[in-house]
Amino acid sequence: MSSKGTTDIAARLGARSASPFRTILFVLVQISWGFIQSLIGFTIFVGNIRSPHTLFHGALVTEWKHSSGVSLGLFVFVPQGCPRRLVVHEYGHCVQSLVLGPLYVVAIMLPSMLWAGLPQMKKRRASKDVSYYSLYTEKSADWLGVQVCGEDAMARRFMVSTQGCKDENMTTFADKSV
Is 31 a member of any domain? yes
Is 172 a member of any domain? no
The residue ranking higher by pLDDT, 2 or 3, is: 3
Is 70 a member of any domain? yes
Q: If you average pLDDT over residues 32-54, what whole number do you get?
A: 97
Q: If you average pLDDT over residues 78-95, what whole number do you get?
A: 94
**pLDDT for res 5:** 57
Query: Do the beta carbons of residue 103 and residue 88 sit within 8 Å?
Result: no
Question: In the chain, pLDDT over 70 holds for what percent of residues?
Answer: 76
Which residues have a Cβ under 8 Å from the Cβ of 148 and sit 6 or more positions away?
57, 91, 92, 95
**pLDDT for res 172:** 41
Q: How far is CA 155 from CA 34, 133, 141, 166, 172, in A?
A: 25, 6, 10, 13, 16
Q: What is the mean pLDDT of the chain?
A: 83
Confidence of residue 150 (pLDDT cuts 50, 70, 90): confident
Q: Which H or E run includes 40?
A: helix 35-47
Q: Is the pLDDT of residue 13 over 70?
A: no
52 C-beta neighbours (distance < 10 Å), count: 21
**pLDDT for res 103:** 97
Q: What is the pTM of this model?
A: 0.81
Where in the chain does DSSP place strands (E)?
Answer: 53-56, 59-64, 70-72, 75-79, 158-161, 164-167
Question: In the chain, pLDDT over 90 holds for what percent of residues?
Answer: 65
Is 25 a member of any domain? yes
Query: Do the beta carbons of residue 149 and residue 16 sit within 8 Å?
Result: yes
Q: Provide the residue range defining the domain that includes 56.
A: 4-167
Q: How many domains does the chain have?
A: 1
Is 54 a member of any domain? yes
Q: If you average pLDDT over residues 60-86, what whole number do you get?
A: 94
Q: Is the pLDDT of residue 65 over 70?
A: yes
Q: Is the pLDDT of residue 175 over 50?
A: no
**pLDDT for res 6:** 55
Is 46 a member of any domain? yes
Q: How far apart are CA 130 and CA 18, in angstroms?
A: 34
Is 177 a member of any domain? no
Is 95 a member of any domain? yes
